Amino acid sequence: MIELKNYKIIKKIGSGGMGDVFLAEHEVLENRVAIKSLHPGLVDDESFRKRFRKEAKTQWELSHPNVVRLIDFQEQEDGLFLIMEYIEGKQLNEYISQDSGPIPEDRLIPMFIQILSAVKYAHSKGLVHRDIKPANVLITPNGDVKLLDFGIAQQSSEDRGLTKTGVQVGTVSYMSPEQVNAEKVDKLSDIYSLGVTLYQMVTGKAPYEGQTNQFKIQLSIVSNPFPKAKQHYPGVSDKIEAIIEKATQKKKSDRFQSCEEFIKSFGDGSILNTQKKKEAQSKTEKTKKIQETEIQENKNESKVIDSKPKLKIISIVLIIILLTLAMFLTKDWYAERCYGFGFKFNMPNGSIVSFGNLSCDSQKEWVWVIEIFIAALLILITNKKSFFKSNNFSRFPYSIIIIIVALGTVIFKQGIEQSKHIKEQKIKVAANNKAAADNKAAADRKAEADRKAEADRKAAANRKAAANRKAVAERKAEADRKAAANRKAAANRKAVAERKAVAVEVEDIEVEDDFDDVDVPFAVIEDVPLFPGCERVAKSERRACFQDKMNKHIRNNFRYPEIAQEMGIQGRVYVNFIISKDGSITNVRMRGPDKNLEKEASRIISKLPKMIPGKQRGRPVRVPFSIPITFRLN
C-alpha cells in the first residue's frame, strides 16, 4: 500500500499497465480523491517517469465537464502520484456487460454526444487521445459521462521522443488502420476509435470479441471491411449503422473530419441518403459488368459458329486416329502380357483403369474395346445429318460429349470389376497382417512374462541378501556394544584404583572463554543484535522487534523485477548472512528459483542499516541470520 502526505489510503480500486489506482481521503478536508501511482517496478525507469509527468501535464491543461479533473501531482523518491477527482460510477464496458446490454438509441445518443464533446474539447487543445475505448469512459449513476486516461495522449504537432512514429500505441481492437501500421496518427484516428466504441454500445459486444490472436485482429482491421452492427444485433437502426460505417472507413478522407461533424450526423438524415446512393451505385456497376460479360460470351459463340468447315474434317480425322491407336496399343499390350510376343507397352500406373489387373481371358478382355467402337459408330450415324451435312458446326461439341459419356460408361464397368478384385486383395492382406500381429503380440506377451518372472526372482534374491546383511549388522552391533561396555567397566575400575593410589593437589586454574571466532545462532544468543529503533525495547521483546523491523525493511524496499513479471517467474529466495561483531552485514548468500529474484533479494539486504552487534556473556560475537523473501504475482 502506498503512503502519501496528507492523504489516507482507503483501498485499491484499479490497476493498469503503468500503475495502480487507489481511493483516498484528505486528512484535513475529508474529501475523497482517486490517486494513480506509478508501479514500484517502474519508478527507477526514467522513460516511464517522463511519460507519467507528461500525463500529469496533459491532464492539468484540460478543464471540461466530461473530462476527469486533475487536482494535484506529487513526486517522491519512492513514487509518482496523480491526484484526481473521484467519480462514482462504472466503466462503460462494465456498464454494457453488467447493466444495459445493447444501449437503446434514446439513451445512447445523449451519452455518446457527451463522449464526442469531451474528445472535441481535447482536439481543440491540440491533443490526440490515441486510446479511446469503453474502459476509458466512466458512467455515473445519473448517466453523466467522464473521459479519462490521457496517459498516451499526444500533441498534434508532436512526432518524436516518447510517442515517435513507428511504434504502436493503443488497445488493439479499437486501433485505426494507421495505428496498426504504426503510422502517424491524428484526430481522425480518434474518430475511428469512437466509431468502434459506438459499435460496442449499440451491439453490446466489441467487434472482434472472442478472438485472441492479435495478429489476426490487426490483419482484419487493415484488410477486411468493418463488421456490420446489424449482423450482431438486428435492432440497430439504418441511421446508426450508416454513422458507424462512415466513422470506421479505412481511408481517413472517407471518415467524419471532426467531432463536430460526427455530432451533427445524429440529427441529420443526409448520411442515410448518402449511404443509399452508394448502395444503388454499387448495384448499377455490378449490373453493367454482368451485361458486358454476356456480350463478350455472345461474341465468342459467334466466332465458333463462323468457324471454317475445315475444322470439322480435322476433328473427324483426329478421332479416327486416336481410336485406331488405342485399339493397336491395347492389342499389342495384351499379346505381350498373355502370350509373350508383340509390342512391349508399359501402361501408366496412374490410368483410370489399371490394365495390369485384367485377366488373360480374351472373351472378357476384348468386350470393352468392341463396346467403345460400337458406341462411336452409333453416335456418328445418329448425328450424320447435323454433323456431316449441316454448315452449323455448333452441335459438334455435343457429339464429342456423347462419345466421352459412352467411353466413361465402359471404363466405369471395368472399374467396378477392378474394385472387386482390389477389395478381395485388401481383405486377404488384412487377414495376413492380423495373423502376423497376433503372433507378434503372443510372442511379446511371452517375453514380457519371462522378463517379469526373472525380475521377481532377482527381487526375491535381493530381499534375502538384504535380510542377511541386516542380521549380520545387528549381530556385529550387539557385539560392539558389549565390547564397549566391557571396556568402559575396565576403565572405571582402573580409574578407581589410580585415585586410591595417587593423590594429586590441583591448584585453581582461571578459565577464560574465547569467543573470537565463534558464531552464535540468533535463536540461542543471550543478547540479540539490535535493529536501529529497538534499543529502548525490553530485553524479552528484542527478538520480536528485530523480526518486525526486518520485515518492514523488506516491504519498504521490495521491487518486483520487471523481466521476472513478464516471464511469470515467482517463488521464494532464502537469504543467509552474518551480523559481524561490529554490526555490519557480511557473508550474504542466497538460493532461489531465478537469478533476477536473487539479485533483487541481494539489493534489499544490501540496504540494511548497521546493527548493534549481538553479545554472548557480555562480549560481541558473530550472529548468523536467515530469512526467506517471497516473490508472488497477483
Could you give the residue numbers annotated as active site? 131
Write a three-state SS string for 380-442: HHHCHHHHHHCCCHHHHHHHHHHHHHHHHHHHHHHHHHHHHHHHHHHHHHHHHHHHHHHHHHH
Q: How far is residue 141's CA from residue 618's CA, in Å, rounded to a whole number?
A: 69
Pairing of strands 571-579, 623-631: antiparallel
Asked if 74 and 83 count as a contact pair (C-beta separation under 8 A), the reply is yes
Asked if 115 and 145 count as a contact pair (C-beta separation under 8 A), the reply is yes
Asked if 38 and 52 count as a contact pair (C-beta separation under 8 A), the reply is yes
Q: What angle do CA 328, 331, 334 make, to 5 degrees?
A: 145
Neighbour order of strands in the sheet with 70-76: 7-15, 19-26, 32-38, 79-85, 70-76
- Count CB-CB contacts under 10 A for residue 265: 18
CA nearest 367: which of 401, 321, 417, 318?
A: 417
Position of cell 495384351? 334
Beta bridge partners of 14: 21
Asked if 162 and 50 count as a contact pair (C-beta separation under 8 A), the reply is yes
Q: How far is residue 179's CA from residue 184's CA, in Å, rounded to a whole number?
A: 7
Distances (CA, A) of 154 to 22, 60, 127, 304, 330: 25, 14, 6, 67, 82
Count the helix, strand and coil residues of the chain and give each as a percent rounded to the nearest 5.
Answer: 55, 15, 30
73 phi, psi to nearest 5 deg: -135, 130
Pairing of strands 615-616, 19-26: unpaired
User: Which set of grid coordinates corresponds to residue 492?
Assistant: 572405571
Burial class (CB in 10 A: 0-12, 13-18, 19+), 230: middle
Q: Which strand (E) or helix (H) includes residue 466?
A: helix 396-501
Asked if 36 and 48 count as a contact pair (C-beta separation under 8 A), the reply is no
User: Which set of grid coordinates corresponds to residue 195?
Assistant: 466509431
Q: How far is residue 187's CA from residue 539's CA, in Å, rounded to a whole number?
A: 68
Three-class SS of residue 571?
Answer: strand
Q: How far apart are the first and last CA of the chain?
A: 14
Q: How far is residue 256's CA from residue 119's CA, in Å, rounded to a whole number?
A: 14
Three-class SS of residue 34?
Answer: strand
